Amino acid sequence: MLRLLRLLKPYTVPVLAVVIVVFFQCMSDLYLPTLMSDIVNKGITNGDINYILQTGALMLLVAFGGSICAILASYLSSHAAMGFGEILRSRIFGKVSSFSLHEFDRIGTPSLVTRSTNDVTQVQMVVLTMMRMMISAPIMAIGGIIMAVSKDRGLAWVIIVVIPVLAAIIISTAVRGFPLFRAIQKKIDGINLILREGLTGIRVIRAFDRVEDEKARFDEANRDLTRISIRVNRMFAVLMPAMMLVMNLTTVSIIWFGSNRIDRGTSNIGNMMAFLQYAMQILFSFLMASLLFIMLPRAQASAERINEVLDIEPDIRDPERRDAVAPMERGLLEFRNVDFWYHGAEEPALRDISFTARPGEVTAIIGSTGSGKSTLINLIPRFYDVGEGAILVDGVDVREMPQAALRDRIGLVPQKAVLFTGTIADNIRYGREDATEDEVRMAAATAQALGFIEEMPERFDSPIAQGGTNVSGGQKQRLSIARALVKRPEIYLFDDSFSALDFKTDASLRVALRKVTSDATVLIVGQRVATIRDADRIIVLDEGRIAGMGTHAELYSGCEVYREIVASQLSAEELA
């Protein structure tokens, strides 16, 4: 928690202003009981109306000043706390943006969402409370004790007895609450996971009639969270009544023993009233501290989870220093004896992969499910780093290139088409923001998307819903291809990007791509032989190894794995 508080540095001035304003507010609150005591002892007792009016006017002035200070403190503390939350969310997002896919696999998307929202809110709220209560509570407690003793030392023993009791109640509650709050945050992660899966997979859930099963799964996680929350609330439900009981008993004790002292003539009514108010201020400062201790354990658990994200060192980082190297050939891509393991895997996903792809060539990758095709594609933009060997782009090892410079050379169309909220033009320009209208239109035409775009009421200004839910799977794929084409990169990576297209659109798209990408290096991962048979080079993967490499004719005559794939898809007439 203390580490995160360092992020408040840009708000040093507002925080210092809060300290000063709260100090003056506390001074006014501590001064008011003394003024009231003077009115009773000197004004009312002596019947001095002028003294009563003068002191009363001073009380009003002090109370008004305290109110102004309270308003300023609320404004300044809110400003600093909200700014702190903004900084924290930006730090988390920036850190997560630098993660490789290994880090996402390790923490999980639902947990990252919880840490960026719920956990940040918990820390933000406790910072807001701390700026007020951690300043005012000690001042009111210490100042109240000093002022109370100065008014009536004979009643000081009441405060000496009460303070340890209150401290024991608060500390014991906080110690028991901390592990429960940590468990609550983990349970919230679990609920977010189930909720996210349920919302994103609603079509599959309904198709297999598993709605009730998902409800039961969610209800179980929900009940689990509820049980822990009830335990926490039961514990804190006892805290507040216990605090109020102690406060009420303290009030009764002060009045009882104070009245006896007045009766004996060792004190007076004004001092007893002032002592009672100071005692209440002391007790309320402990009550404020108890509220802070209620929030602090949960905020501490949230802070630990946030620090866990911020402390992660990404597996993939830019080189500290790289001498400028002239490119051997723009778009040249080389794999040299590449091996790759996923974290925790016993066997490598790719083994001894070596090939070269040059500009103007189309290199296709085919293989059975799980053979490592998408893994190979993900290594090129450094979504993962190789375990052994090297991948070179323009003659430079990708690990020696800044990630931004590397990815600027690459246009990727992922296996799962992803669109963003906005217009069709916005989604295509995601590849290159400064693309002109003609370039956007040309990219859409090449991707065979112009037809359905022109049929929409607003054409390129037609809105795309979140996740692209208002367009079909094939339309999403074509827009994703247009997004890569408008970038005009050196290397195009198509990761099974034609699977949702019909054969006619697929054929037209491949012909159009040949014209546009004639000076670029093209890698196509495909499941259909018809999609990749005209490639300049076809790489056949089998269980992470290269089982064959060559043209369609060469592989069909010399590679058993490729021949089996072809035989499963094409008839004898199609092969002729």
pLDDT digit string (tens) for 549-562? 888 888 888 888 88
Own/partner pairs, 62-70, CB within 8 angstroms, 24+ separation: 62/28, 62/31, 62/32, 62/35, 63/28, 63/32, 65/24, 65/28, 66/24, 66/25, 66/28, 66/29, 66/32, 69/21, 69/22, 69/24, 69/25, 69/28, 70/25
Whether 428 and 479 have beta carbons less than 8 Å apart is answered as yes
Average of per-residue pLDDT across 108-135? 81
Q: With 60 as the cut, is the pLDDT of residue 326 above it?
A: no
> Do residue 370 and residue 285 come from a single domain?
no
Q: Is residue 217 assigned to a domain? A: no
Average of per-residue pLDDT across 125-152? 83
Confidence of residue 456 (pLDDT cuts 50, 70, 90): confident
Q: With 60 as the cut, is the pLDDT of residue 571 above it?
A: no
> Do residue 104 and residue 136 come from a single domain?
yes
Q: Residue 132 belongs to a domain with what CATH number?
A: 1.20.1560.10
Confidence of residue 165 (pLDDT cuts 50, 70, 90): confident
Cα gap 304→509, rounded to integer Å: 51
Contacting residues for 343 by C-beta, under 8 A, at least 6 apart: 102, 105, 106
Phi, psi of 543 (to 5 degrees): 55, 45
Q: pLDDT tens digit string along 506-536?
A: 778 778 888 888 888 889 888 778 778 888 8
> Do residue 269 and residue 408 come from a single domain?
no
Name the least confident of 2-6, 147-151, 560-564.
2-6
> Do residue 247 and residue 387 come from a single domain?
no
Q: Is residue 6 assigned to a domain? A: yes
Beta strands of 358-499 (E only): which ranges? Answer: 362-367, 388-393, 396-397, 410-413, 422-423, 463-464, 491-495
Residue 574 has a pLDDT of 52
Q: Is residue 249 assigned to a domain? A: yes
> Do residue 78 and residue 110 come from a single domain?
yes
Q: Residue 474 belongs to a domain with what CATH number?
A: 3.40.50.300
Residue 570 has a pLDDT of 64
How does DSSP assign 474-527, residue by residue? HHHHHHHHHHHHHH--SEEEEESTTTTS-HHHHHHHHHHHHHHTTTSEEEEE-S
pTM score: 0.67
| C-beta neighbour count of 21 within 10 angstroms | 22
Per-position b or e across 22-59, b if 16+ CB within 10 A of its CB = bebbbbbbbbbbbbbbbbbbebeeeeeeeebeebeeeb
How does DSSP assign 113-170, residue by residue? HHIIIIIHHHHHHHHHHHHHHHHHHHHHHHHHHHHHHHH-GGGHHHHHHHHHHHHHHH
Average of per-residue pLDDT across 168-176? 77
Q: pLDDT tens digit string along 463-512?
A: 887 777 778 878 888 888 888 888 888 898 988 777 767 777 777 877 88
Give the tokens for residue 509: 């798209």
Per cent of the chain over pLDDT 70 is: 96
Average of per-residue pLDDT across 336-349? 83
> Do residue 385 and residue 300 come from a single domain?
no
Separation of CA 112 from chain center: 5
Give the chain's length: 576
> Do residue 64 and residue 150 come from a single domain?
yes
> Do residue 262 and residue 352 come from a single domain?
no
Residue 535's domain spans which residues?
A: 333-575
Whether 398 and 380 have beta carbons less than 8 Å apart is answered as yes
Q: Which of 311, 346, 362 is the last residue of a domain?
A: 311
Q: Is residue 216 assigned to a domain? A: no
Q: pLDDT tens digit string along 383-430?
A: 888 888 999 988 888 888 888 888 888 888 887 878 888 888 888 888
Give the tokens for residue 500: 């949702």
Instruction: Work out how many domains the chain is built from and give that number.
Output: 2
Residue 2 has a pLDDT of 67
Residue 162 has a pLDDT of 84
Q: pLDDT tens digit string along 359-392?
A: 888 898 988 877 888 889 889 988 888 888 999 9
Confidence of residue 542 (pLDDT cuts 50, 70, 90): confident
Residue 68 has a pLDDT of 92
Q: With 80 as the cut, is the pLDDT of residue 62 above it?
A: yes
> Do residue 386 and residue 300 come from a single domain?
no
> Do residue 561 and residue 425 come from a single domain?
yes
The HSE-up count of residue 318 (CA atoms within 13 Å, CB side) is 11
